[in-house]
Chain A
Amino acid sequence: MTELSQIRNFSIVAHIDHGKSTLADRLIQTCGAVSDRDFHDQMLDSMDIERERGITIKAQTVRLHYKAKDGLDYVLNLMDTPGHVDFAYEVSRSLAACEGSLLVVDASQGVEAQTLANAYQAIEAGHEIIPVLNKIDLPAAEPDRVRQEIEDVVGIDASDAVLISAKTGLGVPDVLEAMVKRLPPPKGDRAAPLKALLVDSWYDPYLGVVTLVRVKDGVMRKNMRIRMMSNGSDYDIDKVGVFGPKPLEVAELGPGEIGFIVAGIKTISDCRVGDTITEEKRQAKESLAGFKPSVPVVFCGLFPVDAAEYEKLRDSLSKLRLNDSSFHYEPESSAALGFGFRCGFLGLLHLEIVQERLEREFDLDLITTAPSVVYKIALVDGTAIDLHNPTDYPEVMRIKTIDEPWIKATIIVPDEYLGSVLSLCQERRGIQQDLTYAGTRAMVVYQLPLNEVVFDFYDRLKSVSRGYASFDYEIADYREGDLVKLSILVNGETVDALSLIVHRSHSEHRGRVLCEKLKELIPQQLFKIAIQAAIGGKIVARETISALRKDVLAKCYGGDISRKRKLLDKQKKGKKRMRQVGNVEIPQSAFLAALKTG
């Protein structure tokens, strides 16, 4: 066990690409937690997708040993947190396990939208914050300007910010010293009944369910019988350990310590994140303040391209959920796409990541339908429904009002692109709330309907600002909207998977764009194809694909059979990947395209 006064628990928060993972790597190396031989970049990002995209999805933790200048040995527990808005929930629970944060800001780019969002979360969690200016070795670094920006925009004292280059290691020892000196040690009572925060849990193929905990009071030991305070279920601890960053068994975890337990828990759904763990024999009186459960805000349908892969998709989803309890899924069937799942995500990046992991780690070919938000519909008969899927949109006559979720978006953008960013926000029904300047950059706060954001808003924002705008949001509230269901019909039949809920003012335009796009993507077929967009019963757009006039091999004799049959088999397989709506075959790309038309 370690004296409380010699423990520091901290998180690193930063905007994407400001150097959070690099700093974590450097701290790990400086403290000698990993031999040079075992070291690799982004030590704490274990998923391929995290390394490739340079993002952190899952919170990770590592225990570091540091001999400070005061001669004492300290234990520094680093909780690495995701930076992206979609994973704000993961951030908040990681922060709850720590007393302080390093706020890493790129010394040339300055404060970005996620810097702000993450810093506010750390402030809210009552953290002591140490500003760290990274990349000061770059010629474009302007530490003074950025220091000022932190004070102006974030509102914290940055006069003693630590200047570092995580890449070269410059200033990293100063970070360690600053943590020891400036971050408060955890508080706790070793003699009191056990009280530990369940921070996270995941499924490990070797260990089973691993539960990450932060002990507040008391001690956790092997063979101890513990109780989950939320539901009274009991388990025996098989293993107690810490991450260094490899799992390492220890005798016990005392107050202030962060580590893991393995306790014969069958599934991660038995581990409620934010729960309080106590000892069955000597129970704590009160539980710790928990977290609100994460709520999916974006929904879409996931369907196997090959209908035979439905079972495989279901297995894969359940496996994925073992390590990501924040996404939800339930079976869905579509006339056009067959059997699949309606899935709920924390945001668009989360959606993209889950989809990509299913395709890469589980080798599935998927059709993803257009993302939708959750609408609250009040019906004339006085009842209310939550609409996750445009297909379930009730008859217009039954609807009294439709409410849609709004967000509060913060966008930080260089002055020269402000105009285009503002018009993009206006175009998306945004309401400007605030516009301030920090140097040559503007920070604009907008209220926006979430359904306008799930529709390629990021892509458009990036393109109008040449990648310089940064964006973050939080869910604000529900507001009534003039929303309609836009249906797509091919040869008179509605393609349920292409239905969208859109604002009336955008509906005709979007219908037109979608019809044009589908005309490009659906190949000529034996029959003429009419593509129509309809709102209610009214057709608002129409395109026609003329029938295929000729498609035949000129020559096919005895020596050609094998080759031509293979050609034909390939064509048949291709057809199998298409979806039949009436007499029209629609390629999967057409369904994907609906995601991209703004």
Chain B
Amino acid sequence: MMEGPFFGVYVHWPFCLSKCPYCDFNSHVRDQVDQRRWRDGLLRELRHYAARTPLRTVTSVFFGGGTPSLMPPDTVSDVIQAIKSHWTTGSDLEITLEANPTSVEAANFAALARAGVNRLSLGVQALDADALKFLGRNHSANEAIAAIELARRHFGRHSFDLIYGRPGHTVMAWREELGRALELAGDHLSLYQLTIERGTRFWRDHATGAFAMPDADTQAALYETTAELLAARGLPAYEISNHARPGGACRHNLTYWRYDDYIGVGPGAHGRFRDATNPAEKRATRQTSGPEAWLDLVEAHGHGTAEDTPVAADEAASEALMMGLRLTAGIDRTRFAANTGVALADAIDPAGLRRMVDGGFVVDDDTGLRATPAGLQRLNAVLATLGRT
């Protein structure tokens, strides 16, 4: 388990053709995007962060959004080339790009692959027409299936997302939909329980009673069904919502969950990394989220950083605990200490740990700490019990 440490580069493309009602990410709809300025902006901000993290070996790149499949493939290519020129990269560099499965975007897949993207993550979200309409998606189920087929052809690896626990969703309907998804799956699937986030259209609709979410028991049953079915079909969960065949886990996301270092460029991107000036201290960075404001700042100062603060040791420990226990492999004791400066045992309330171990929610052994399946699906309560504050 002690591979790494990883060092990831996240690139945020903030634009979408339309805003989905469940999405609370930093995404914006614009009629026009000055592609040249945007390419230059991303490249300049990359240079800024590269200067702060020389001599690191980049292990993954992730284009997220927004909808990065709307990026001109040339921009994607330039960003990848810049990363390769600023840092050392291994031959196994993972480069993921998030894509929407519309036919328009699918037309770009070949060019994106040529640009260097070797892993495509498709926002399919549902294989059911009514559900796609409810979720405000611009594609049909058939388009999605075609896009998955195309991704299989152009990219070494591909994954797609589905959202379950939708209003009226039953275990039976979800099993059927998952069965079809598994037929299409590559080495990876992300299966998210629908969450009503503050500030979204769903939040308002839900608050006003426009729709009702499945009750707690149904939600739990949906989650349990997912875990059981995926494990039986060879893609067990390696994280709360992520499933993969052996070796298929997304390395870039593992970087987050292991609390390894990553930088984030583009509007609203976050980073957690140790820079060259103080390799013992984790820093938290956040870029300005308004696209135009970010671009203006980058052009004026070389970067659009809104926040760049040291992460206190106890905060780092608390973050690493929260992220690490999401993984079925759990937290590696050695890596935890290396990434936070705090021994795992010191980050945990001993009485709380005892109760969680006795209750069968976590396993605590020589290598580290991990949540059991029972603990994983109740992780918030487990974390609140384990945490010191």
Contacts and interface: CB of A to CB of B under 8 A. Distances in A.
B361 A568 contact: no
A554 B191 CA distance: 9
Nearest to B191: A554
A571 B380 contact: yes
A569 interface: yes
Contacts of B381: 525-526, 548, 551
B256 interface: yes
B108 interface: no
B378 A548 contact: yes
A559 B268 contact: yes
A557 interface: yes
A556 B326 contact: yes
Contacts of B355: 583
A550 interface: yes
A547 to B, nearest CB: 9
A554 to B, nearest CB: 4
Interface stretch (A106-114, A193-201, A572-580): A572-580
A554 B240 contact: yes
Interface in A506-559: 525-527, 548-559
A561 interface: yes
Interface string A169-195: 000000000000000000000000000
B378 A569 contact: no
B382 interface: yes
Interface in B234-277: 240-241, 253, 255-256, 262, 264, 268-272
B318 A568 contact: yes
Contacts of B193: 554
A289 B28 CA distance: 84
A565 B322 contact: yes
Given A561-B272, A572-B387, A549 B318 contact: no
Interface in B145-200: 192-195
A504 interface: no
A552 B373 CA distance: 12
A562 interface: yes
A559 B264 contact: yes
B378 A553 contact: no
A211 to B, nearest CB: 49
Interface string A212-243: 00000000000000000000000000000000
Contacts of A562: 270, 284, 286
Interface stretch (B48-56, B71-79, B83-91, B213-221): B213-221
Nearest to A549: B220
Contact of B378 (A526, A559, A572, A583): A526
B379 interface: yes
A559 B11 CA distance: 11
Contact of A556 (B223, B322, B378, B384): B322
B112 interface: no
Q: Interface centre among A565, A569, A583, by most B CB within 10 Å?
A: A565
Q: How large is the interface on B (under 10, 10 to 19, 20 to 34, 35 or more residues)?
A: 35 or more
B382 A554 contact: no
Nearest to A553: B380
A267 to B, nearest CB: 40
Given A548-B378, A564-B322, A573-B389, A558 B262 contact: yes
A43 to B, nearest CB: 48
B279 interface: no
Contacts of B315: 565
B367 to A, nearest CB: 23
B383 interface: yes
B13 interface: no
A552 B376 contact: yes
Contact of B389 (A526, A552, A576, A583): A576
A572 B323 contact: no
B384 A554 contact: no
B147 to A, nearest CB: 22
A423 B268 CA distance: 67
B256 A526 contact: no
B128 interface: no
Contacts of A556: 240, 256, 322-323, 326
B382 A553 contact: no
Given A556-B322, A558-B272, A549 B195 contact: no
B220 A550 contact: yes
Given A558-B10, A562-B286, A583-B355, A552 B192 contact: no
Contacts of B308: none
Given A526-B361, A555-B195, A568-B384, A550 B377 contact: yes
Interface of B: 8, 10, 25-26, 192-195, 216-217, 219-220, 223, 240-241, 253, 255-256, 262, 264, 268-272, 284, 286, 315, 318-319, 322-323, 326, 355-356, 359, 361, 376-385, 387, 389
Given A549-B220, A549-B378, A553-B380, 7 more contacts: A553-B240, A553-B379, A556-B240, A558-B264, A561-B256, A562-B284, A568-B383
Closest 10 CB pairs of A and B: A549-B220, A550-B220, A552-B379, A572-B389, A558-B256, A554-B193, A559-B270, A551-B380, A554-B192, A571-B384
23 contacts: A526-B356, A526-B361, A526-B378, A548-B381, A550-B378, A551-B381, A552-B378, A553-B240, A555-B192, A556-B256, A556-B323, A556-B326, A557-B253, A558-B255, A558-B270, A559-B10, A559-B25, A561-B256, A562-B286, A564-B322, A571-B384, A572-B387, A576-B389
